[in-house]
Chains A and B, each alone.
Chain A
Amino acid sequence: MMKNKNTLCTLLAAAVMLSALSGCSAIREKKKSELNIAIGASPATMDPQLVSDTYSGRMTSLFTCTLYMYDENNATVPGLAESMEWSEDNLTATYHLKEGIKWSDGSPITADDFVYAFKHLADPQTASSAVYLITSCCIIQNAVEVSKGEAPVSELGVSAVDHQTFQVKLEVPCPYLNSLFTMPDFAPRNRAFCENVGSDNYATSADTILSSGAFIPDLYEPLAAQIHMKKNPYYIFADDSDLPGVNIQIVSDSQQAMMCFETGVFDIVSVNGSVYELAEGDACLHDYPTVSTDFIKINCKTNQYLGNKNIRMALSKVIDRKSLADDVLRTGYDPLYAMSPPGYFTEDDGTDFYGDGSRYLEYAGFDENKAAELWKQGLDEIGTSSVNVKLTYYSGNSALAEAIEAQAEKALPGCDIELDPVTQKEYLKMSSSGDGFDLLIAGWAADYGDPTSFLNLFLSGSGKNIYSNDEFDGLLDKANESEIINTPGERNKILHQAEDLLMSEAAVIPLFSVEDSVLVREGVTGFTETPTSAYSVKKLDKEVR
């Protein structure tokens, strides 16, 4: 017995040594020329039409190309499409595809691939959680009925006019359609290939993925800890970069990722939370706006105190967002005084939609005295001397919640905030149902380049059940009317009115706009994060030293 064990161990030890010597150096050499990226979690899916989370979006954007895409400056530019035009009534969009676009197996990408992809997205059989992109972000003709199974998939308002021309029919005008179509969920899908591997098996392994984008995955399995992709020679912008491949490793522990960056294992690492201290002041550290907002959802309907506007505004004005961002959160958060964050939405003249935020300071700017005054007024209106509200939050946000509690209770006499930490699961449930909380620390990320991506949250029928105001609903409806869309400047004016209304009613307490801090090693070029937190890959390259 003993002897056997001995030999076994010796063998094992020898095997370890041998393989260490042989395997290691080749892989290291390869890694040097490739781009090594650490991401925090494994993508939930690699099937573009199923993508609904950031990590899946990031990974799929590496091997998909869409009709339109973001360039290095986050402007929406043509991708696979050469050009597009709107019909007179703004309800039909016609996309003309580029010449010579190809799949990674060399076959041509045609308009039919887009039709197939869109229909797959809408198909109730697919049960994609991204279907809201075509049923509420933009409303493609019959998409709602098709996705509920009330109409056959063939009824969906998309068609291939010819091999090169793809047409989308909408039910409501959608001026931001191109920026919406940058999402990987709108990437083409090769019918022959999918039917060959079985549509449900598509993208479940490296062999079952057909790439239309910059790279071809050659190492992938569901929930992989490692993903490797090689260059796609058929990519339409293949000549823009010499990068032979990308090597992605899932590292959930941000310290481990940081140590690996310092020892040179990774070229790109996201920095969040406490590790920021280590990267602070490094020239390699870049901040990318993620176009997402952290805010406090107010349940105006069920809580008797929160139904009062003055109480809500007092709570909003009592929060010192700057000190929270600097002292508690430390990195990646900027104070925000409205729902639509800066840095993405623009006016017709190119200036920022949010501006410097000063127009909202009246409603949400930090002012303890004004807050106390409003508070007292509110209390008198309700006829009470103390208010007890529950502040619910995902337990990861406890530092923020505890600090907000302290600020509010200090400045507002008779204010009693009860902290209620919940798990991520419960948080998501509350957030989507709008039930079970008074105040909820929530977050929302933009899906497309229009402020309605945020404002739609507060529509009466949005299913989130937190706020309803007929005037607000009317303004947002008006913003999608054809004549408003066609009059320059008119639409944004209406959207501003809507946002002002929202803020003056203090229907929500905006907190921060969120940024993504990323360490990018010197020598990596063309790297940027798109507004939807995907990687911009067109010109991604690395200088080998």
Chain B
Amino acid sequence: MKKVTEAASVYVPTAEDFVPVSSERKTDTSAESVGGSRHDTVKKFFAQKSAVVGVVILALLVIMSIIGPYLSGYDYADQELDRSNLAPKVPVFSEMGFLNGSELLPKTTGDTSHNRYEELGISDVYYIFGTDSLGRDMFSRCFMGLRISLIIAVVSTLINLFIGMNYGIISGYFGGMADVIMQRIADVIGSIPTLVVVTLLMLVMEPGMGSIILALMLSGWIEMSQIARAQVLNVKEMEYIQAARTLGAGHSHIIFGEILPNIIGKMITQIMISIPAAVFLEAFLSFVGLGMPPGSCSLGTLLSDGFKSVLIHPYQLIPSAILMILIIVGSHLVANGLKKAAE
């Protein structure tokens, strides 16, 4: 911001400057006011090792969620009842006596190790992540689940962003009575604990992706709107906004041309916080029995299914748990990096 004020102090305005802004001009001003620092932010962001790691993790997860379900050659929903509960078996490792399809059962009569591949006479078959109790390939299921969970999280976060940002900007920008009323409404909705909103909604609606997104949406936009509003209040009084206003720019120009680019950084950080929260909440819903319907597959259903047999077949839980942890770690690192870069 300093840069702008200095520039303004040496700049001698000419008559040209007092012509109402055109659409071309709009990009110019915003680029000048924040564009430079934005470039710096990107540089600063990528200078942090942890942030880069975060970006790589997230990128890999997204790529795997797209191609993962097709890599193993088994469909995620195909059941083969006679191949149920197979432990992970990986081509190269199995030669070394590691991940070779044997598992240790803590039976009541003592720990016993066995290899179901050999018992079933299918020693030439490989399931990298093993199979579940219905003989479905865990590898495909995990990445399919990742895909569904990411879709739920991203869609709900984007909707939240859209609603929250508009709400916050309108409330903060126009102020006055509108602001008071809108804030009261947000206060009331925001005072209902997420747990309660989500639980009640999921009870009332049919279980499914749409209702989970809606439930996540209803509880998530408040925070977005608060951040947007706070940012608007901050930015609103800045010199460049007042300058734009003096130049006769309309509300929409100021909101979309001047304010929006300035709060987008904060919003991206908030997105990176919201996405893992949504993944977490989705998983939690599955645990309480309010998540995705049975038969479908998301990280939440995989986790809660795996959890039910973690003692017997821990490999049915571990991959999906790791995927969820990776989502959270990745977004966390990126969010942290963004915060630091913005400082």
Contact = CB atoms under 8 A, between A and B. Distances in A.
Interface string B298-313: 0000000000111111
A399 B309 CA distance: 15
Contacts of A204: none
Interface stretch (A169-177, A278-286, A429-437): A278-286
Nearest to A254: B308
A74 interface: no
Contact of B295 (A274, A402, A406): A402
A402 B309 CA distance: 20
Interface string A231-258: 0000000000000000000000001001
Interface in B82-96: 82, 84-85
Contacts of A285: 108
B300 to A, nearest CB: 14
Q: Which of B134, B207, B311 has the most CB of A within 10 A?
A: B311
B310 A255 contact: yes
A414 interface: no
A262 B106 contact: yes
A402 B108 contact: no
Contacts, number: 65
Given A255-B309, A327-B82, A403-B79, A278 B295 contact: no
Contacts of B207: 423
Contacts of A396: 294
Q: Which of B81, B134, B293 has the most CB of A within 10 A?
A: B81
B108 A278 contact: yes
A230 to B, nearest CB: 29
Nearest to A281: B109
Nearest to A280: B107
A403 B81 contact: yes
Contacts of A398: 294-295
Interface in A266-280: 273-275, 277-280
A274 B309 contact: yes
Interface size class of A (residues with CB under 8 A): 20 to 34
B103 to A, nearest CB: 10
A262 B313 CA distance: 17
Contacts of B180: none
Contacts of B109: 281-282
A258 B311 contact: yes
B133 interface: yes
A262 B134 CA distance: 27
Contacts of B293: 395, 421
A279 B294 contact: no
Interface in B196-248: 207
Contact of A282 (B81, B107, B133, B312): B107
A278 B133 contact: no
A419 B312 contact: no
B105 interface: yes
A65 B328 CA distance: 57
Nearest to A397: B294
Nearest to B84: A327
Contact of B294 (A261, A284, A395, A406): A395
A519 B84 contact: no
B312 A278 contact: yes
Contacts of B310: 255
Q: Which of A277, A279, A406 has the most CB of B within 10 A?
A: A277
A351 to B, nearest CB: 35
A519 B109 CA distance: 12
A14 interface: no
Contacts of B313: 274
A278 B311 contact: yes
Interface size class of B (residues with CB under 8 A): 20 to 34
B130 to A, nearest CB: 14
Given A328-B81, A403-B81, A421-B293, A279 B308 contact: no
B134 A255 contact: no
A277 B82 contact: no
Contacts of B79: 402-403, 406
Contacts of A406: 79
Given A327-B82, A398-B294, A419-B295, A277 B312 contact: yes
A399 B79 CA distance: 10
B199 to A, nearest CB: 14
Interface in B60-116: 79, 81-82, 84-85, 105-109
Q: Which of A261, A278, A395, A398 has the most CB of B within 10 A?
A: A278
Nearest to B313: A274
Given A402-B134, A403-B81, A419-B295, A277 B105 contact: yes
Contacts of A282: 107-109
A421 B81 contact: no
A264 to B, nearest CB: 11
A274 B308 contact: yes
Contacts of A421: 293-295
Contacts of B106: 262, 278
B107 A255 contact: no
Interface in B125-152: 133-134
A279 B310 CA distance: 15
Contacts of B84: 327
A423 B105 CA distance: 32
B297 to A, nearest CB: 12
A15 interface: no
A275 B295 contact: no
B312 A399 contact: no
Interface string A298-341: 00000000000000000000000001000110000000000000
A519 B308 CA distance: 19
B133 A255 contact: no
Contact of A278 (B81, B107, B308): B107
B107 A279 contact: yes
A127 interface: no
Instruction: Report the 4 A-B pairs with minimum CB-CB distance, sorted nearest first.
Output: A398-B294, A255-B311, A395-B294, A274-B309
25 contacts: A255-B312, A258-B108, A261-B108, A262-B106, A262-B108, A274-B133, A274-B312, A277-B107, A277-B312, A278-B311, A278-B312, A280-B107, A282-B108, A284-B108, A327-B81, A395-B294, A396-B294, A398-B294, A398-B295, A402-B79, A402-B134, A421-B294, A421-B295, A423-B207, A519-B108
Given A274-B308, A398-B294, 20 more contacts: A255-B309, A255-B310, A255-B312, A262-B108, A277-B107, A278-B105, A278-B106, A279-B107, A282-B108, A282-B109, A284-B108, A327-B81, A396-B294, A402-B79, A402-B134, A403-B81, A406-B79, A419-B295, A423-B207, A519-B108
